[in-house]
Amino acid sequence: MKYRNLGTTNEKLSAIGLGCMGMSFAYGPTDEKGSIATLERALDLGINFWDTADMYGNGANEELISKVLVPNRDKVFIATKFGFRFKDEIAGPSGTANTYFDGSPEWIKLAVEKSLRRLGIDTIDLYYAHRVDPNIPIEETVGAMAELVKEGKVRYLGLSEASPASIIKANAVHPIAALQSEYSLLTRDVEKEILKTVRQLGISLIPYAPLARGLFSNSLNLENLASDDFRRTLPRNQGEHALNNAQLVADFSLLAKDKNCSPIQLALAWVLAQGNDIIPIPGTKKRKYLEENVGALDIQLSNVDLKTIDEILHKYPNIGARYSEGAMALVNH
């Protein structure tokens, strides 16, 4: 395993982390036994950076992770998030009518205790605000998070899907170690201003969905997904966007074949190549995909490779939005 520093700290995180959401939420049927085996395999591979959130399965994901985290506490740098709440305590995809966002200091105090209890630990390594609450100044949210650091309940602070202005304001209240935002070959919004901002402040970028939610597997078929699978609702998987992306990935897969790797490995290698301050967290609940992801660390991309990838992307511009309109309303505040 290769390691990268978290922000300006001396924390060494695996260059590829593990997104745990799909083990309990949004991606079809759960498999506790298989997920636990995947978490244990992550330890074997040296993947020490695990990502969860209190909303994933309404706490179920934190409880699942705790079964492997607690007996291996010294081997895992655990990140979790707060903010999304369910109106009727039934877990549903973020951005639906069933969720709302709460970045209030009052909720933060309660949320952290709930997460600590579910995880079975005394201190969370990295605690994110899952979004920026448009109704509460970011300074108030981060001020309450900073109190958790003083109390020893949290070690480092992070934001998710925040705008450059919010990142700067937040960092002025307390150092922000990481920004988690969607970043992949198909989602490059952060390249406009956000990446510049985090680099100026010494903040790591943590890309989630670096494989475009399975699109780069070249085998994503909505008909094979569970009826409640989150990916069925995404604009990118609908109509003309779906056709565009299927053609894009088909061309991309030919390039991967020339590189003697899988499309997934090539897509992940591209994210890794964007800078040593970038630590992607591809999600999976299966060991075979976890092992495939790690193989991306061995792929070296030349300038010619990078140019060829850009040419493929430019050939198929009709990618589609990454989220529904409702979910996008909470992005980049």
How far is residue 251's CA from residue 255's CA, in Å, rounded to a whole number?
7
Q: What is the pLDDT of residue 211?
A: 92
How far is residue 88's CA from residue 97's CA, in Å, rounded to a whole number?
11
pLDDT digits (tens, 9 = 90+) for 288-298: 999 999 999 99
The pLDDT confidence band at residue 300, using thresholds 50, 70 and 90, is very high
What are the tokens at 192? 């406009």
**Picking from 11-25, 122-136, 308-322, which range would have the lowest pLDDT averaged per residue?**
308-322
What are the tokens at 113? 């205790």
Average pLDDT value for residue range 134-157: 98
Q: Residue 264: helix, strand or coil by DSSP?
A: helix
pLDDT at 96 over 60: no
How far is residue 140's CA from residue 66's CA, in Å, rounded to a whole number?
30
What is the identity of the amino acid at 39?
L
How far is residue 146's CA from residue 141's CA, in Å, rounded to a whole number?
9
134 neighbors 155 (Cβ within 8 angstroms): no
pLDDT at 38 over 90: yes
Give backbone dihedrals phi and psi of 85, rounded to 5 degrees, phi first.
-125, 150
pLDDT at 200 over 90: yes
Helices and strands counted in the chain (H then E): 11, 11
Q: What is the pLDDT of residue 226?
A: 58
Shortest CA distance to 295 belongs to which of 268, 277, 313, 326?
268
Shortest CA distance to 220 belongs to which of 4, 27, 23?
27
Shortest CA distance to 63 belongs to which of 52, 74, 48?
52
The pLDDT confidence band at residue 51, using thresholds 50, 70 and 90, is very high
Is pLDDT larger for residue 215 or for residue 57? 57
How far is residue 133's CA from residue 126's CA, in Å, rounded to a whole number?
19
Q: Residue 128: helix, strand or coil by DSSP?
A: strand
Q: What is the pLDDT of residue 266?
A: 97
Q: What is the DSSP string of 148-201?
A: HHHTTSEEEEEEES--HHHHHHHHHHS-EEEEEEE-SSS--GGGTTHHHHHHHH
Q: What is the pLDDT of residue 222?
A: 60
Across the chain, mean pLDDT equals 90
pLDDT at 333 over 90: no
Name the percent of the chain lying above pLDDT 70.
Answer: 89
How far is residue 228's CA from residue 24's CA, in Å, rounded to a whole number?
13
Q: What is the DSSP string of 284-303?
A: -SSHHHHHHHHGGGG----H
Q: Report the alpha-carbon angle 14-60-155, nearest 5.
A: 45
Name the percent of the chain lying above pLDDT 90.
Answer: 77
Average pLDDT value for residue range 172-185: 97
Q: What is the pLDDT of residue 327?
A: 65
pLDDT digits (tens, 9 = 90+) for 248-268: 999 999 999 999 999 999 999
The pLDDT confidence band at residue 148, using thresholds 50, 70 and 90, is very high
pLDDT digits (tens, 9 = 90+) for 78-95: 999 999 998 765 544 444
Q: Which residues are catalytic?
A: 56
The pLDDT confidence band at residue 120, using thresholds 50, 70 and 90, is very high
305 neighbors 252 (Cβ within 8 angstroms): no
Average pLDDT value for residue range 40-69: 97
What is the identity of the amino acid at 244?
N
pTM of the model: 0.91
Q: What is the pLDDT of residue 95?
A: 44
pLDDT at 35 over 90: yes
Q: What is the pLDDT of residue 86?
A: 82
How far is residue 173's CA from residue 139's CA, in Å, rounded to a whole number?
6
pLDDT at 306 over 70: yes
- Phi and psi based region of residue 85 (left: phi greater than 0; alpha: psi -120 to 50; beta: remaining): beta
